[in-house]
Amino acid sequence: MEILVVATELAPYARVGGLAEVVAALSKTLRQQGHNVTLALPRYPHFERAGLLVARRLNALSLDAALSVTVYDGRLPSGVDINLLDVPGFFDRDGIYGDADRDYADNPERFALFCRAAAELARQRERAGNPVDVIHAHDWPAALLPLYVRKDSSGFVKRPPTVFTVHNLAHQGIVEPDRLDALAIPRDLFNPEGVEFYGRINILKAGLVFADAITTVSRTYAAEIRTPELGRGLDGVIASRASRVTGILNGVDYAIWNPATDPHVPARFDAEDPTGKSLCKTSLLKELSLDMNPQRPVVAVLGKLVDRKGTDLVVQSLNKLFLSDLALVVAGDGDEAIARRLDAAKERFAGRFAFVRAPSDAQLHRIVAGADIVLVPSRFEPCGVTQLWGQRYGTVPVAHATGGLVDTIVDCDASLTTGTGFLFDEASPTSLLSGVQRALAAYGSDAWPKLRRRVMRLDLSWDRPAHQYTQLFRSLQS
């Protein structure tokens, strides 16, 4: 199949969150499975700074009489083709979505222009005799693309179907209706069946309404966003298109996250020979100036320091957590108030607590490899990745039972004969402590090595999700 993937992030070049890793790994896996994949992204300065070689295409994309978009062609080491779309003044900025803590005010116009260019790119390919079979758009910055393709099908002999993936419904791109023209949205679509949302424009809603198929990054999250609690005001829209919504879990890129080949860890290991994990643990204790007590379980918390990720619950639980004999490592960046409280805790719990602010990729690998337990207290989690990293490295997850965490962790039974982690029911300090206590009790049992081996044997690769996407793409062909 000829697949056009449209997104605004791509690891390792232009990365803000997990979207970058998903786009890179899924595209690579689809390519390995025999499909021709082309990525379309804005031409940020990040690509050339990282050394990606691209060539300027002679023919620009004409969006109207006054506006053209320059295309730069390249190929990633994975064999995936990449088209970088450039308009001076729109994408040649240091930030992807903004600078420091503030988004660019013209983000809606920037990404609307990008979507218009991606739609024209697909039209140009058909005119050149190389049509795309499906267009796969990701999150709100690409959400206008299904609208443009469906409502302006001129130039297509056969309109390609569009698939829209919601990675996080919390980000929607809501703006005032006086920007309709600037966003190239036909005025007759400003109604409840179109892009109107409580008197404003909702860009993400355009993707939900006009895409031929919708996916989210887990089955449970696909169900959760049809409820008022997690639907973010769009639960009715999503429920009305329920037959078009599919939950497909993310995977792990085994070329990057593999304890048997990982260049960032001091010792390598696998499910059949986990001895290297002990060496990773002692090395981590030394690196983070923690007590050299290898028998003490190390619990890691990784990710953004924000309430959504439940990091505040960890802060509230510190005193009670340290009533148990454990070491705790928190690694991440985000909310300044949470960071200050974590910094203050380092002295109170010296030798048993480490806070790594803004960890490097290599540090994240060493922490995952050296820890025994990874704690994922997210209030909601579309899919989650830290629990997958943990399972890959034999670091057993303890997580709030929400979203993709439910789909990737089977709660252990009392005897540890079944299960791949520990789930707790509520996003509260009490429930979090209960989940951690269960894991600590298991850590002290003879069954722990078997549990660790079981989670390391899980198939967490992108192969199965990529096949599911392929099946979905093929179902849209007519």
Q: Which amino acid is it at 47?
A: F
Say whether both 394 and 419 belong to one domain.
Answer: yes
Burial class (CB in 10 A: 0-12, 13-18, 19+), 126: middle
Say whether both 292 and 220 belong to one domain.
Answer: no
Say whether both 441 and 409 belong to one domain.
Answer: yes
Query: ∠136-384-435 over CA atoms, to 5°?
Result: 160
Q: Which residue has the higher pLDDT, 264 or 101?
A: 264
Quickly tell me which residue has 């779309």 as its tokens. Answer: 85
Q: Which amino acid is it at 136?
A: H
What would the pLDDT profile of 24-39 be if each residue is shown by its tens digit? 999 999 999 999 999 9
50 in a structural domain: yes
292 in a structural domain: yes
For 184-280, strand residue ranges (E) read: 196-197, 200-202, 213-216, 245-247
Say whether both 304 and 429 belong to one domain.
Answer: yes
Say whether both 42 and 122 belong to one domain.
Answer: yes
Q: In the chain, what percentage of residues exceed pLDDT 70?
A: 100
What would the pLDDT profile of 273-285 be if each residue is shown by its tens digit? 999 999 999 999 9
Q: Which domain holds residue 396?
A: 275-456
- In this structure, what is the dihedral angle of CA atoms 224, 228, 232, 234, given to the nearest 10 degrees? 90
146 in a structural domain: yes
pLDDT value of residue 433: 98
Residue 429: name the closest of 343, 309, 347, 313 by CA: 313
257 in a structural domain: no
Say whether both 176 and 109 belong to one domain.
Answer: yes
Report the distance separating Cα 376 and Cα 406, nearest Å. Answer: 12
299 in a structural domain: yes
Q: How many domains does the chain have?
A: 2
149 in a structural domain: yes
pLDDT value of residue 157: 87
pLDDT value of residue 325: 97
- For the chain, how long is the longest CA-to-CA vector? 73
Report the distance separating Cα 128 and Cα 425, nearest Å. Answer: 55
Residue 174: name the closest of 122, 224, 233 by CA: 233
Q: Indicate whether 259 pLDDT > 90.
A: yes
What would the pLDDT profile of 291-332 be if each residue is shown by its tens digit? 999 999 999 999 999 999 999 999 999 999 999 999 999 999
- Do 127 and 153 form a contact (C-beta atoms < 8 A)? no
Sign of CA dihedral 271, 274, 276, 281: positive
Alpha carbon 308 to its chain's center? 14
pLDDT value of residue 152: 81
Residue 458: name the closest of 281, 270, 273, 276 by CA: 270
Say whether both 413 and 467 belong to one domain.
Answer: no
Say whether both 232 and 190 belong to one domain.
Answer: yes
Say whether both 302 and 156 belong to one domain.
Answer: no
How close are the terminal C-alpha atoms of the chain, in Å?
A: 13
Say whether both 83 and 119 belong to one domain.
Answer: yes
| Structure-token pair, residue 435 | 């989940």
Q: In the chain, what percentage of residues exceed pLDDT 90?
A: 95
- Is residue 364 helix, strand or coil? helix
233 in a structural domain: yes
**Rounded-to-5 percentages of helix, strand, coil across the chain:** 40, 20, 40
Report the distance separating Cα 83 and Cα 86, nearest Å. Answer: 10
User: Which residues lie below 8 Å from residue 461, measured CB to CB, with a gap of 6+?
Assistant: 29, 251, 252, 254
270 in a structural domain: no
Say whether both 79 and 138 belong to one domain.
Answer: yes
pLDDT value of residue 100: 75
Sign of CA dihedral 95, 97, 98, 101: negative
Q: What is the number of other CB atoms lying within 10 angstroms of the CB of residue 64? A: 8
Say whether both 335 and 430 belong to one domain.
Answer: yes
CATH number for 288: 3.40.50.2000
**Main-chain dihedrals φ then ψ at residue 357, nearest 5 degrees:** -90, 135
